[in-house]
Structure 1
Amino acid sequence: MLEAAERLFGSELLAQIWFHEEPINVFDYKAAEDLVASGRAAELMLYLQSLEAGQPDNLQVENGVKKRMVAILVRLRPEAVF
């Protein structure tokens, strides 16, 4: 799961932040971590694969997500920002 997210966001750290923190609109604004915990990992993986394939609801939305994740990263781990 994190490998697919890392390919989308270009960073292991951003993928981890996304997994734990970012609400996903198509899943009623639940974070990936919550989806996996509730047994919805397969659905989440299909969603990530659709984003990788360039399906709708991907790059424009995910670019906004990436900006929010960077803001979270700066707040949580300022030493990681270069």
Structure 2
Amino acid sequence: MSGWIKCSDRLPSEGQQVICTGFLYDNRGRGRYVSPSTYHDDVFYGYVDEDDDERLPGDAGEMHKPTHWMPFPAPPTE
């Protein structure tokens, strides 16, 4: 099992930090994005580096039509 959860099956808890994925601007030909995100008010918000000219999908960090998400893995213990 990959750990990915379909957004249509279940959504994260409010404020949960996750990894989400979807197709760029709902166009499979443009490729899939994968981004760390926070789920808030029914929206996945990605992390945008204000100094970076290449932004994540979504002008204000809102992820464009995510299809799947997964919890972050546990951090290393060593």
TM-based fold match above 0.5: no
Structure of higher RCO (CA pairs closer than 8 Å, 6+ residues apart): 2
Greater helix fraction, Structure 1 or Structure 2: 1
TM-score under structure 2 normalisation? 0.30
TM-score under structure 1 normalisation? 0.29
Larger radius of gyration: 2
